[in-house]
Amino acid sequence: MSDNKDVKAPSNFLRSIIENDLASGAFAPRGDSARIRTRFPPEPNGYLHFGHAKSICLNFGLAHDYEGACHLRFDDTNPTKEEQEYVDAIIDAVHWLGFDWGSNLFFASDYFDRMYAFAEYLIRNRKAYVDSLSADEMRAYRGTLTEAGRESPYRDRSVAENLDLFARMKAGEFADGSHVLRARVDMASPNLNMRDPAIYRIRHAHHHRTGDAWCVYPMYTFAHPIEDALENITHSVCTLEFEDQRPFYDWLLEQLCEGGLIPRPAPKQIEFSRLNLTYVVLSKRKLIQLVEEGHVDGWDDPRLPTLAGGRRRGYPPEGFRLFAERIGVSKADSLIEYSVLEECMREVLNDAAERRVAVLDPLKLVIDNYPAGEHEACFAPNHPLKPELGQRSMPFGRELWIEREDFMEEPVKGFRRLFPGNMVRLRYGYVVKCTGCDKDEAGNVVAVHCEYMPDSKSGTPGADNYKVKGNLHWVSVAEGVEAEVRMYDRLFAHPAPGSRREGDAPQLERDFLDDLNPDSVKLIRAWLEPSLGEVAPESRFQFERHGYFVADRIDSQPGKPVFNRTVTLKDSWARSGK
């Protein structure tokens, strides 16, 4: 990421806030020279999705642009849903996107001792109490948006009693749910988040890092501001659904500043609108359901909008970064067309991917006047706009594979490819004239015949004497490589999976699973030019006329390639109006 130092990203409200804070000296560097500190704080309860990419690019990007630091912090405060597998996958994905946190890797669970001490501090200052109402009672006492809450009968317990109960919660004397620690704020606040929110709960559960050391765990609303403060975060950037929690964030940090437990100034929470994308679901709950119920083949299924899936699909990390930059950040809810993401991938791939030839629906072409057993080399540029990438040789011979759709025995109007009597160029090779075809008993065309013009080879002086309209790609039958190609398409057939449609009966509830695209993958056997036989996993190419493809990072090996279609050359969804 250090290569784009002088490309200034477009301005946005977040940048304005940061620039003002830098100008006013609101956040002096602490500890080291970082001028600002941001963080990406995933909960390790699932794989990262495309929405997270927006947050990652934003937080790491701001730190980079303002000579700051960005922390990778695992918000691992809920032991029942979190796993080491997710920690590893998240680390992998953030690295893969191209970001580096240096030594700034943190785990909220490393702060459990301090969080506990901070909670005791609040109790001693009558800012927290142990409540023993049941969950249902607590809900009833909380009130509604239009009605103030009522104070719990336990709200005025003495400091001594609260400290004792909290210690016994920690010691494991009580069952889950029998008590909670609540902040003592304001039951009449118009903001429900300020009505004495729960800050610690009892959970007799094994934690993937702290094991069985704890049976009380801090709630997000308490833990997150403390994590930010302990790490000297300056700008705590999060999605809009946390806007209503900001008053509590500020309240809590103010208490701790007053007590001298954390330094001033406290971090600042700033919200932006989350990424919503058509044709996918971006919610961990739904993604887990797709994986666990087997609708896809694991977390890295190339159809899933997880970063692991996108990587396997062949989406380059630069494509995600371009996408994040292009969609920008704001506070307005927005729904981005999936084709915008695809266009970013195409743009990066068009520039970066070498060109190759593959025949996806093979039909044999026999050049009857070409000597059997003979071969010669034709040369094809690796990139039309980058001569420095050189060329490769493709063996030409008597029998070639062409695309089935490039031949019509009885051509429709405007068809310019092969049909009896017509001449076309075999790209990078010779001009041929079609002489006929062979059929099986059912009438299917099984081979096409032609004759070549020996003086028409591309790159030779005679080549220009032939004016033809069709230009076909081909692969040598003798030397081509047969391979599995997985033709991926969108996972959902509807832009808003599970949404109501016009004319739906009022009682009808749709399930996002009903909108799965039944044709989201098609496995085919294709013929590839020989140079594709030995490619390393994750190599990306443009297959001429077909789109961008990647050698599968799990199943492809040199000598036995397997390719995934990343994206077509054009947006076929827009054209077909599917």
Task: Indicate which single residue of 14, 21, 42, 349 sits in contact with ligand ATP (rule: CB under 6 A).
Answer: 42
Nearest-angstrom CA–CA distance, 450 and 548: 30
Q: How far is the CB of 189 from ligand ATP (least distance, A)?
A: 24
Task: Indicate which single residue of 238, 291, 308, 432 sits in contact with ligand ATP (rule: CB under 6 A).
Answer: 238
Torsion, CA 74, CA 75, CA 79, CA 81, rounded to 10: -80
Q: Report the site for ligand ATP in 242-281 (rule: CB under 6 A).
A: 274-275
Ramachandran region, residue 470 (left: φ > 0; alpha: ψ -120 to 50; beta: rest) = beta
Catalytic residue among 246, 268, 284, 303: 284
Nearest-angstrom CA–CA distance, 496 and 277: 9
Q: Is 463 helix (H, G, I), strand (E, B) or coil?
A: helix
Inter-residue contact 510 to 492 (CB < 8 Å): no
Q: Report the site for ligand ATP in 282-311 (rule: CB under 6 A).
A: 282-284
Q: Is residue 341 close enough to count as binding ligand ATP by CB under 6 A?
A: no
Of 53 and 194, nearer to ligand ATP (C-beta) is 53
Assess whether 30 carries a catalytic annotation: no
Of 87 and 159, nearer to ligand ATP (C-beta) is 87
Of 327 and 569, nearer to ligand ATP (C-beta) is 327
Q: How far is the CB of 558 from ligand ATP (least distance, A)?
A: 37
Residue partners of 573: CB distance under 8 A and separation at least 6: 338, 339, 490
- By beta carbon distance, the residue nearest ligand ATP is 51
Q: Is residue 219 close enough to count as binding ligand ATP by CB under 6 A?
A: no
Task: Report the first-to-last Cα separation within the chain, whole angstroms.
Answer: 37
Catalytic residue among 43, 161, 479, 484: 43
Of 275 and 322, nearer to ligand ATP (C-beta) is 275
Q: How far is the CB of 65 from ligand ATP (least distance, A)?
A: 18
Q: Report the site for ligand ATP in 55-94 (rule: CB under 6 A).
A: 55
Strand positions, DSSP E, 247-349: 268-272, 276-277, 335-336
Q: How far is the CB of 53 from ligand ATP (least distance, A)?
A: 8
Catalytic residue among 126, 274, 331, 364: 274
Residue partners of 315: CB distance under 8 A and separation at least 6: 345, 566, 567
Q: How far is the CB of 255 from ligand ATP (least distance, A)?
A: 23
Inter-residue contact 19 to 335 (CB < 8 Å): no
Q: Given the rule CB under 6 A, which of 52-60, 383-391, 417-425, 497-505 is the region that contacts ligand ATP?
A: 52-60
Q: How far is the CB of 248 from ligand ATP (least distance, A)?
A: 17
164, two tokens: 């004792």
Q: How far is the CB of 208 from ligand ATP (least distance, A)?
A: 15
Q: How far is the CB of 194 from ligand ATP (least distance, A)?
A: 21
> What letter represents residue 307's amino acid?
L
Nearest-angstrom CA–CA distance, 453 and 456: 6
At residue 45's C-alpha, the angle toward residues 43 and 50, to 5°, is: 75
Task: Indicate which single residue of 41, 61, 302, 362 sits in contact with ligand ATP (rule: CB under 6 A).
Answer: 41
Q: Using alpha carbons, select from 236, 199, 214 the residue that is nearest to residue 121.
A: 199
Q: Is 527 helix (H, G, I), strand (E, B) or coil?
A: strand
Assess whether 274 carries a catalytic annotation: yes
Inter-residue contact 570 to 554 (CB < 8 Å): no
CA distances from 259 to 183, 238, 263, 308 (A): 16, 26, 10, 44
SS3 content of the chain, % helix, strand, coil (to 5): 30, 25, 45
Of 34 and 275, nearer to ligand ATP (C-beta) is 275
Assess whether 469 carries a catalytic annotation: no
Of 51 and 470, nearer to ligand ATP (C-beta) is 51
CA distances from 224 to 28, 268, 270, 425 (A): 22, 12, 13, 65
Q: How far is the CB of 532 from ligand ATP (least distance, A)?
A: 36
Neighbours of 387 (CB within 10 A): 10
Q: Given the rule CB under 6 A, which of 41-49, 305-313, 368-376, 503-511 is the region that contacts ligand ATP?
A: 41-49
Of 43 and 65, nearer to ligand ATP (C-beta) is 43
Size of the site for ligand ATP (CB under 6 A): 14
Inter-residue contact 531 to 377 (CB < 8 Å): no
Of 245 and 542, nearer to ligand ATP (C-beta) is 245
Following DSSP, what letter does each residue of 178-191 receive, concatenated? S-EEEE---TT-SS
Nearest-angstrom CA–CA distance, 327 and 33: 31
Nearest-angstrom CA–CA distance, 336 and 320: 14
Q: How far is the CB of 39 from ligand ATP (least distance, A)?
A: 8
Of 86 and 541, nearer to ligand ATP (C-beta) is 86
Q: Is residue 12 close enough to count as binding ligand ATP by CB under 6 A?
A: no
Q: Is residue 43 close enough to count as binding ligand ATP by CB under 6 A?
A: yes
Q: Given the rule CB under 6 A, which of 35-43, 142-150, 293-301, 330-338 is the region that contacts ligand ATP?
A: 35-43
Q: Given the rule CB under 6 A, which of 46-54, 226-234, 248-256, 446-454 is the region that contacts ligand ATP?
A: 46-54
Task: Indicate which single residue of 14, 27, 36, 52 sits in contact with ligand ATP (rule: CB under 6 A).
Answer: 52
Of 12 and 132, nearer to ligand ATP (C-beta) is 12
The footprint of ligand ATP (CB under 6 A) covers 41-43, 51-52, 54-55, 238-239, 274-275, 282-284
Query: Known catalytic residues?
Result: 43, 274, 284
